[in-house]
Structure 1
Amino acid sequence: MSEPLAASALAALFTEARTHRAWTDRPVSDDTLRAVYDLTKWGPTSSNCCPLRLVFVRSPEPKATLLDLVSRGNRASVEAAPVTALLAMDLAFYEHFDLLAPGTGAKSWFDPADERGISDTALRNSALQGGYFILAARALGLDCGPMGGFDAEGINAAFFADTPYKISFICALGYADASKVRPRAGRFDFDQVAQIL
């Protein structure tokens, strides 16, 4: 049985962690990005379908392309962040069950004509993996700025053309400028949103 994490770990992952929009110029290494993925990949998904696909935007030309595709309110964060991750879902995830769920026959559970069922499964599980991604990044000392507010069709055309991938959300990554963090917003208490039956 696992033991609860230390209070300092819980603070880093949850209670003291924040969504950041302002960044220092400290770079994020390739090794760190690989380590984030190497933690993310262990999170459970239904039938181990693992539909998350990632593009890490760091170099000037792709960053300029991305800046043209994010909302005005997100541009400063994307421009200043050392890396912005594009978190997408693979709508052909079922093609990979020979690797991900061998011997289960899981591929036969998905009819390519059932676009809604495939999309729902891909969205639900890639979003789940997106949450693991944020926790993995925080666990490795990175700060995160997940966001919506972008031209999804434009991002799909610019970064995922000729693939079955579709953008889910984007997340700035780096080392935050803590002097510019916003005050923490409220949260619901347990009894406002949960019940034990």
Structure 2
Amino acid sequence: MPTATATVDRETMHQLFEGRRTTNLFSEGEVDLDLIERAYADARWAPTSMNCQPLRLTVLKPGPRRDAVVEHFKGDNGQKTSAAPMTVVVAFDPNWHEHMPTLFPHVEGLREKFAERLEFREKMGRDNAFLQAGYFILALRAHGLDVGPMAGLDAPGVDSEVHTETGWKTLMVLNVGHGPSEDENAQYPRGPRFDFNEAAQVL
């Protein structure tokens, strides 16, 4: 019989899930790009349909490019982002099918099959990139970073600033830093969560 996979200890699980919250305002200190790269190197092993891997990331350090992106945010999301040490625009590549000969080589003709199915590609790209984004957030936490995900933005506007050459399509933004600041609004009180028997059915 195959050997069972070892479980992760509760302390580690706490650091990844219950012990972490969305961070709005971060403590001072820069974020090393190497941590973002290492987090992606771990998150890339997330499952996706036919290994399509549509997730794309645009890393923005403080500066003119991020300032231009912030102009397309809603409410106080722009202020939060302007104050963050680093920002990652999470997007998907609607042309993910171009890479199928490399990513899923044992099935021939997938690139050609999906070439004319733009609506299908966009749905599949969005669905799988959101799945990858969840893993990426956990990977960032695992590397000691706090994360502030937000979707209150004009996605086409953000694309016009950073994705005109790639054609990627924005899904959300992740602000990243080393822990919350001392501001009382740095992290909001934790909201309730459903128990298993409220969120699941066993048939």
Length-normalised TM-score, structure 1: 0.94
- Alpha-carbon distance in structure 2 between the residues aligned to 1:14 and 1:106: 40
Does the 8 A contact of 1:13 with 1:139 survive in 2?
yes
Q: Do the aligned partners of residues 110 and 86 (structure 1) sit closer, same or farther apart at CA in structure 2, a change above 3 Å counting? A: farther
Question: How much does 1:75 deviate?
Answer: 1.7
Which shows bigger deviation, 23-32 or 135-144? 23-32
The amino acid of 1:186's aligned partner reads P
The amino acid of 1:190's aligned partner reads F
Q: Number of residues paired by the alignment?
A: 197
Does the 8 A contact of 1:85 with 1:170 survive in 2?
yes
- 2:115 match: 112
CA RMSD of aligned residues (A): 1.5
- 1:3 match: 6
Does the 8 A contact of 2:48 with 2:131 survive in 1?
yes
1:95 is aligned, of 64, 84, 98, to: 98
Does the 8 A contact of 2:62 with 2:82 survive in 1?
no
1:171 is aligned, of 150, 160, 174, to: 174
Question: How much does 1:72 deviate?
Answer: 2.4
Which shows bigger deviation, 72-81 or 43-52? 72-81
1:194 maps onto 2:197 in alignment:
no
The amino acid of 1:187's aligned partner reads R
> Post-superposition, which runs of at least 4 consecutive aligned residues in structure 1 deviate over 6 A?
none
1:182 is aligned, of 179, 183, 188, to: 188
Which shows bigger deviation, 50-59 or 97-106? 97-106
Does the 8 A contact of 1:56 with 1:85 survive in 2?
yes
Which shows bigger deviation, 96-105 or 108-117? 108-117
Partner SS, residue 76 of structure 2: helix
- Alpha-carbon distance in structure 1 between the residues aligned to 2:160 and 2:113: 26
The amino acid of 1:95's aligned partner reads E
Q: Do the aligned partners of residues 59 and 182 (structure 1) sit closer, same or farther apart at CA in structure 2, a change above 3 Å counting? A: closer
- Alpha-carbon distance in structure 2 between the residues aligned to 1:48 and 1:106: 15
1:75-114 C-alpha deviation (Å, 9 max, x unpaired)? 2220111111101000000100122112322625743322
Does the 8 A contact of 1:91 with 1:165 survive in 2?
yes
1:156 is aligned, of 156, 159, 169, to: 159
- 2:126 match: 123
Length-normalised TM-score, structure 2: 0.92
- Alpha-carbon distance in structure 2 between the residues aligned to 1:3 and 1:107: 36
Which shows bigger deviation, 170-179 or 157-166? 170-179
Partner SS, residue 72 of structure 1: coil
1:51 is aligned, of 25, 50, 54, to: 54
- 1:139 match: 142
Does the 8 A contact of 2:91 with 2:129 survive in 1?
yes
- 2:41 match: 38
1:82 maps onto 2:88 in alignment:
no
2:72 is aligned, of 69, 73, 80, to: 69
Does the 8 A contact of 2:28 with 2:181 survive in 1?
no
Question: How much does 1:152 deviate?
Answer: 0.8
Give unmatched runs, 5+ long, in structure 1.
none
Partner SS, residue 38 of structure 1: helix
Give unmatched runs, 5+ long, in structure 2.
none
